[in-house]
Amino acid sequence: MDQEKVARLTRELLMEIGENPDREGLLKTPERVADSWAFLTSGYRSDLKTVINGAVFESEANNMILCRNIEVHSLCEHHMLPFFGSCTIGYIARHKVIGLSKLARIVDHFSRRLQIQERLTSQIARAVKDSVDAEGVGVIIEARHMCMTMRGVGKQHSSMTTSSVLGSFHADPSTRIEFLTLAGR
C-alpha cells in the first residue's frame, strides 16, 4: 500500500466533504489516516502460513476444543465502516491441534480487510479446518455494524450473528448441539 498516495487521497476527501485540510486540527490527519488504513487492511498483505508459523502440534486429543470471545474488528465492504464483536471457534482435532493465540491471529488475518460478516465467518472456519486437518469446525461471530447504527436505519442495539460449520459439525447434529451448548448459544 502506497501510504503517501492514501494521504493525498485523504486530503482530497477532506476538501470534498467541505473541510479545510490546512486548519490546525487536520494538518496531520491525512498521514494518520494512511497509517490507520495500513493497519486496518494489513490482512491483504499477511500470509496465512506465516501467521500460523509452525504452531500446529501433534496430539492424541479427539475431543472438542473451544475458544470463546475472540475480539473481532473489521470493515464492511459496502460502506467501509467498522463492524466489531466477538468470535467463538470450536474444532475437533484428528491428530493435530493449533496454539490458542494462533486462532486469534487467524481471525485478525481475515478481519483486517474489507469484509462481509458471512464470508469472514466461513474463511475463518475453512482456515482452521485446513490448518489442523480437523474432523470438524464451527465458528460463530456476533457483531455490531456501524453502517447500521450510525447511519441509515439507525438501529442502535442491533447485532448480527453468523455461523459456519464444517465436517462433523455439519454432518452430525449431536456434535453441532455440543458446540452450540459450549458456545453458550
Is 78 tagged catalytic?
Answer: yes
3-state SS class at 76: strand
The Cα–Cα gap between 142 and 131 comes to: 23
- Residue number, 76 or 92, with CB nearest to Zn ion: 76
What is the Cα Rg of the chain in Å? 19
Closest CB to Zn ion belongs to which residue?
147
Is 145 tagged catalytic?
Answer: yes
Residue found by looking up cell 494489513 in the block: 42
- Residue number, 147 or 180, with CB nearest to Zn ion: 147
* List of E strands, the chain: 56-58, 64-76, 82-92, 96-98, 114-115, 136-145, 160-167
Residues 55-94 that bind Zn ion (CB under 5 A): 76, 78-79
- Residue number, 83 or 169, with CB nearest to Zn ion: 83
Q: How many residues does the chain have?
A: 185
With 0-12 CB in 10 A as exposed, 13-18 as middle and 19+ as buried, what is 155? exposed
Binding mask 119-158 for Zn ion (x = CB under 5 A): ----------------------------x-----------
User: Given 76, 87, 115, 123, which residue is catalytic?
Assistant: 76
# chain residues binding Zn ion, by CB under 5 A = 4
Is 79 tagged catalytic?
Answer: yes
State in angstroms the smallest separation of the CB of 118 from Zn ion.
12
How many other CB atoms are found less than 10 A from the CB of residue 82? 16
State in angstroms the smallest separation of the CB of 152 from Zn ion.
9
Catalytic residue set: 76-79, 117, 145, 147
Point out which residues bind Zn ion (CB under 5 A).
76, 78-79, 147
